[in-house]
Structure 1
Amino acid sequence: MRVIYAGTPEFARVALERLLAARFEVPLVLTQPDRPAGRGMKLQASPVKQLAQAHGITVAQPRSLRLEGKYPEDASAAQMAIEKARADVMVVAAYGLILPAWVLQAPRLGCLNIHASLLPRWRGAAPIHRAIEAGDTETGVTIMQMDEGLDTGDMLLIERLPIGPEDTTASLHDRLADLGGRLIVEALEMAACGGLTRTPQPTEGVTYAHKIEKAEGAIDWTLPAEVIGRRVRAFNPFPGASTAMRGEAVKVWLARVESGTVGGVPGQVLSAGSEGIQVATGDGALCLQELQRAGGKRLRAAEFLNGFPLEAGEIFDPPAGGEVA
């Protein structure tokens, strides 16, 4: 089976690696154009492109696939590459471009998407973040037959995965990427012998995982500790939960919700020691366990306090506090 692969970040790289290990023929990879990254802001190839180049696979990086859109020359070149590939199917995972009808219809078996949620819950751009933020206890991967809607296509395979109380987007991402790679190999093996069954998505339970904005990381201490704690985990590694003390930006990477009734106003430091920094919230307290100053490293609370001493009674700044660069 000849497979065109479309994807960009690490999540997509894992599945491509699995397809190559399973010896599927991949004549073409589509991925996002190189982007500036790092302190020097040098152009950097996506993880999918790096893997494709390491295996000598042809790579196309159109800015758009719309033949009548802003970059018709890119779309036309991509169309020629897709036609030349003579693929049976296209596999799509976190690609980042909308696929118009001509792309969806180009391969014999259409386009299959690896989606990191239990559809129809968390359609959209950030299903892993939103599942943790919402307090979901499980998620999973859905292999979906793509149509022109936003993650509305028929389901082909689905497998559930528990979300642990300490899971961050980073830790859950890695498990879902591994699961997605395994499921897409299974789906293509079934498709090769005509064994895939299409199931329409339920009309109830639809939610949308809107793109994560950097401003969402700002901690609002008037919220319940449980809500803030989930956001700390959901926004790790991006954009990171942020607050400020004495006008200096601080990011919180790890926190534990404390049980019991606490005093103090929201954002007030209740105690600060080697076990963490206990902060009052709108309901309950949050123990900050790993923090980062602007320009510094992530540190456990004890190390952080060595360079940034805090006293009980001090109050973290409201959400207007700065961001850590």
Structure 2
Amino acid sequence: MKIVFMGTPGFAVPSLEKMIENFNVEAIFTQPDKQRGRGKKITFSPVKEVAIKHGVEVFQPTVLRKDEEAIEALKRINPDFIVVVAYGQILNKVVLDIPKYGCINLHASLLPKYRGAAPLNWAIINGEKVSGNTTQLMDIGVDTGDMLIKDEVEIHDDMTVGELHDKLCSSGGDLLVRTLKGIVSGEVKGVKQNDNESSHAPKIDKELQHIKWNQSAQSVKNLIRGLSPYPAAFTKYEDKNIKIYESEVVEGTVSGMPGKIVDVSDQGIKIECSDKFLLIKKIQFPGKKPMYVNDFLRGNDLEKGIILG
């Protein structure tokens, strides 16, 4: 089978490796190179690095649906499948209609829940106990195509989005292989999504990252682990933004002053929420590395009684 793979970030790399291992990957589409850092050094996407390693032709259209040359190249390749994993571009009907069997997307949620850009973050922020990958036959909507195969993963109480990302990242490639082989053999058929059961997972913005201490302690903990290690939840200590990576809910009677630092010790920073307390264990001050509170306190002080913003 001839495959065209479309993807960009590290999440897509294990899937691409599985495609190369099992099929004939004719071409790889990924986002254009970027300039990073003060020196504006040109960097390749993780997917492009894999493509170069394996000697696969790379295409990097700025906007694929408007790039006639790239679309003509796809038509010449005439693939059996286009496989899409976190590509970062919308495919129009012209592209969707090119492959023999269709465009197959690996989406990191149990569709129809959490359609959109940040499904892993929102699953943890909302306190879900299970997540997973879904392969789907793409249509012109955003994650609305027929579902093919699902693979569930349990979310434990302290799991971060980084840990969930790594689990689904490593299992996604095998799910895609099963899906493609199953479609060709006729064993895998699409199942329409129930739009009434759908939910949206929009991009994470700065406002969401800013902790609201007047919420429940569990809600704040879920936000912290749903954004850890990146982009990270933050709070204001005096005039500084402190990123928070790890926390624990602590029982106790609150005084009605959400955000108040009630204790500082090697165990962490105890902060009042609307119903209970949250013990902050790992933080990062501006210009510093992330560190556990007991390490931070060896050379720094935090004042009790301050209300975090």
**TM-score, with normalisation over the residues of structure 2?**
0.96
Q: Which runs of 5+ in 2 are unaligned?
A: none
The one of 178, 192, 204 aligned to 2:196: 204
**Counterpart amino acid of 1:66?**
R
Q: Does 1:44 find its partner at 2:43?
A: yes
Equivalence for 2:263: 271
Output the CA distance in 2 between the equivalents of 1:280 and 1:289: 14
1:209-228 equivalences in 2 (<5 Å):
209-228=201-220
Question: SS state of the match for residue 65, structure 2?
Answer: coil
Q: Does 1:117 find its partner at 2:109?
A: yes
Number of aligned residue pairs: give it.
309
Output the CA distance in 2 between the equivalents of 1:113 and 1:246: 45
Q: Which moved more, 1:210-219 or 1:303-312?
A: 303-312
Output the CA distance in 1 between the equivalents of 2:36 and 2:292: 27
1:224-303 equivalences in 2 (<5 Å):
224-263=216-255, 265-303=257-295
Equivalence for 1:322: none
**Counterpart amino acid of 2:2?**
R
CA shift, 1:164, in A, is 1.1
CA shift, 1:42, in A, is 2.1
Cα distance change, pair 142–248 in 1 and its aligned pair in 2 (3 A): same
**Counterpart amino acid of 2:211?**
I
Cα distance change, pair 307–169 in 1 and its aligned pair in 2 (3 A): same
CA shift, 1:254, in A, is 0.8
Question: SS state of the match for residue 162, structure 2?
Answer: helix
Given that residues 214 and 239 in structure 1 are in contact (C-alpha distance below 8 angstroms), is that contact kept between their aligned partners in structure 2?
A: no
CA shift, 1:55, in A, is 0.4
Identity %: 38
Output the CA distance in 1 between the equivalents of 2:133 and 2:48: 23
Output the CA distance in 2 between the equivalents of 1:37 and 1:121: 34
Question: SS state of the match for residue 124, structure 1?
Answer: coil
CA shift, 1:39, in A, is 5.1
**Counterpart amino acid of 1:146?**
M
Equivalence for 2:304: 312
Equivalence for 1:12: 12
Output the CA distance in 1 between the equivalents of 2:214 and 2:253: 15
**Counterpart amino acid of 2:24?**
E
**Counterpart amino acid of 1:106?**
I
Equivalence for 2:61: 62
RMSD: 1.4
CA shift, 1:280, in A, is 0.7
Output the CA distance in 2 between the equivalents of 1:107 and 1:173: 29
Q: Which runs of 5+ in 1 are unaligned?
A: 68-74, 319-325
Given that residues 65 and 95 in structure 2 are in contact (C-alpha distance below 8 angstroms), is that contact kept between their aligned partners in structure 1?
A: no
